[in-house]
Amino acid sequence: MTALKKSSAGRRKKSVAELTEAEWEIMRVVWDKEPCAAGTVQETLAASRNWCYATVKLTMDRMVAKGFLEINKIRNLQLFRSCISEVEARRGELRKMLNRAFGGTLTPMLKFLIQHEGLSQEEAAELREFVKRAELRND
């Protein structure tokens, strides 16, 4: 399975990124500090992950091959930049979950969330406002 694949469900036909849990952690650091070296990522994650430099560098090199990161080489220094935005990564995560749990459609997921997770009055009002704005854009 490719890491970047075309979305077949829904209105959007853009590529969606499917990141692993480790890739998510690395991407959060890269988005925050880019351009950055693998050592910077490893040091930033040291408090939450006990990954050695080689593990982080190997994972980041694989992310380059998948199209998530790019490398800019300056002499002996390799600086990494993101090739996907946080929105694209979130879209990929949402698509993966939608396909797996709800047959790729959004409405059953929203119904499930409302029925089983509950909404505060404030959240319900906010959702109503989002729906109103979406209807106005579609008119």
What is the domain partition of the chain in residue ranges?
Answer: 15-82, 86-138
Residue bearing the bigger pLDDT, 30 or 12: 30
Q: What is the pLDDT of residues 102-125, one digit of tens each?
A: 999 989 998 898 888 888 889 989
Q: What is the pTM of this model?
A: 0.75
pLDDT band at 16 (very low <50, low <70, confident <90, very high): low
DSSP, residue by residue, 16-83: EE---HHHHHHHHHHHHH-SB-HHHHHHHHTTT----HHHHHHHHHHHHHHTSEEEEEETTEEEEEES
Residue bearing the bigger pLDDT, 106 or 16: 106
Average pLDDT taken over every residue of the chain: 87
Class assignment of domain 15-82? mainly alpha
CB atoms inside a 10 Å sphere around CB 33: 13
CA distance 88 to 58: 23
pLDDT band at 100 (very low <50, low <70, confident <90, very high): very high
Amino acid at 14: K
Residue 6 has pLDDT above 90, yes or no: no
pLDDT band at 4 (very low <50, low <70, confident <90, very high): low
Residue 1 has pLDDT above 80, yes or no: no
Residue 135 has pLDDT above 60, yes or no: yes
Closest CA relative to residue 81, chosen from 68, 98, 62: 68
Q: What is the pLDDT of residues 26-68, one digit of tens each?
A: 999 999 999 999 999 999 999 899 999 999 999 999 999 999 9
Residue 72 has pLDDT above 80, yes or no: yes
